[in-house]
């Protein structure tokens, strides 16, 4: 029997745990080395006095990404992770005591927005249509492709698509094209916080941030985000991926410009 080639993954965060099953097959033996005593990377937990706290991300967007991922192995994502929908997703409150609740139930959201401005009901529909085009383009041409520099990014995006991506507008101005009520624009523009920047500076392309949440909802794995990590650990075990915790890499062994192994501390 032919000996399998070995693949070493450094880091047992969500990225490393997602990669393991994809590489493990009849030709490759896969081993993950995680420096910490627990897996998950930033998506970890602290347990104190019967309570569990997420240390990093606490909510899940785009569950369809994980549905597609698990389907690669003939698996149902929801057999591994129990998701709870968070609805309403966000409640915005202003100093004048007015509030706006965002929901992925478009009828509910439309009613909420029309409280401020009836005309914005139609604006919401147009915003969702426009953002869907950007979103589909982003996942087809940009997010799922490697861009090592600005030129490869432009090639992947497609020169003819640049105007439709809203790159010549700020995120704030792009959203304000669809709504008359400033508070609605403020609420949707606040998603720039995910990138730690101002909606007045970010390109209009990032109007896909609120769209993704409105279209696909906001979700929480039962028991916290570590439920997703546990689901990925289970899949790795089923795919015979060997996992090592408390295993810090001291050095990557390189020969002839190729990595051939690692040395542990």
What is the set of domains in the chain, with CATH numbers?
5-57+225-264 (3.50.50.60), 88-216 (no CATH)
Spatial separation of the C-alpha atoms in residues 78 and 105, rounded to whole Å? 21
Question: Which pair of structure tokens corresponds to residue 150?
Answer: 């600005």
Could you report the per-residue pLDDT of 218-257, keeping only the tens digit for each? 999 998 999 999 999 999 999 999 999 999 999 999 999 9
pLDDT on residue 148: 72
Among candidate residues 138, 26, 24, the one with its CA nearest the CA of residue 72: 24
Q: Is residue 198 left, alpha or beta, with left meaning phi > 0 and alpha meaning psi from -120 to 50?
A: beta
pLDDT on residue 137: 83
Contacts 24+ apart (CB under 8 A), 148-154: none
- Is pLDDT of 26 > 90? no
Contact (CB, 8 A) for 43 and 57: yes
Contact (CB, 8 A) for 39 and 245: yes
Question: Which pair of structure tokens corresponds to residue 57?
Answer: 């991300």
- Is pLDDT of 9 > 70? yes
pLDDT on residue 158: 65
Among candidate residues 246, 205, 233, 209, the one with its CA nearest the CA of residue 89: 209
- Is pLDDT of 155 > 70? no
Question: Which pair of structure tokens corresponds to residue 49?
Answer: 């006095």
pLDDT on residue 75: 97
Task: Tell me how crowded residue 260 is: count the other CB atoms within 10 A of its CB.
Answer: 11
pTM of this structure: 0.86
SS (H, E, C) the chain: CCCCEEEEEECCEHHHHHHHHHHCCCCEEEEEECCCCCCECCCCEEEECCEEEECCCCCECCHHHHHHHHHCCCCCHHHCCCEEEECCCEEEECCCCCEEEECCCHHHHHHHHHHHCCCHHHHHHHHHHHHHHHHHHHHHHHHCCCCCCHHHHHHHHCHHHCHHHCCCCEHHHHHHCCCCCHHHHHHHHHHHHHHCCCCCCCEHHHHHHHHHHHHHCEEEECCCCHHHHHHHHHHHHHCCCEEECCCCEEEEEEECCEEEEEEEC
């Amino acid at each position: 029997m032919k000996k399998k080639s070995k693949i070493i993954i450094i880091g047992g965060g969500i990225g490393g745990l997602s990669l393991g099953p994809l590489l493990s097959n009849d030709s490759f033996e896969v081993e993950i080395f995680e420096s910490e005593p627990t897996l998950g990377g930033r998506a970890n937990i602290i347990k104190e006095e019967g309570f569990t706290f997420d240390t990093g991300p606490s909510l899940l967007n785009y569950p369809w990404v994980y549905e597609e991922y698990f389907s690669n192995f003939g698996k149902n994502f929801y057999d591994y992770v129990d998701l709870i929908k968070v609805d309403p997703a966000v409640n915005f409150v202003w100093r004048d005591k007015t509030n706006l609740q965002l929901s992925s139930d478009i009828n509910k959201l439309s009613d909420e927005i029309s409280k401020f401005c009836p005309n914005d009901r139609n604006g919401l529909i147009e915003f969702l249509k426009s953002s869907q085009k950007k979103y589909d383009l982003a996942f087809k041409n940009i997010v799922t492709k490697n861009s090592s520099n600005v030129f490869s990014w432009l090639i992947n995006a497609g020169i003819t698509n640049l105007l439709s991506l809203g790159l010549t507008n700020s995120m704030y101005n792009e959203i304000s094209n669809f709504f008359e009520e400033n508070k609605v624009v403020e609420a949707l523009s606040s998603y720039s916080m995910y990138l730690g920047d101002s909606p007045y500076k970010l390109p209009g392309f990032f109007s896909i941030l609120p769209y993704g949440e409105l279209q696909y909802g906001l979700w929480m794995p039962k028991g916290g985000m570590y439920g997703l990590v546990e689901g990925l650990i289970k899949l790795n075990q089923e795919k015979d991926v060997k996992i090592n915790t408390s295993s810090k890499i001291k050095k990557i062994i390189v020969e002839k410009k190729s990595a051939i192994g690692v040395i542990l501390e």
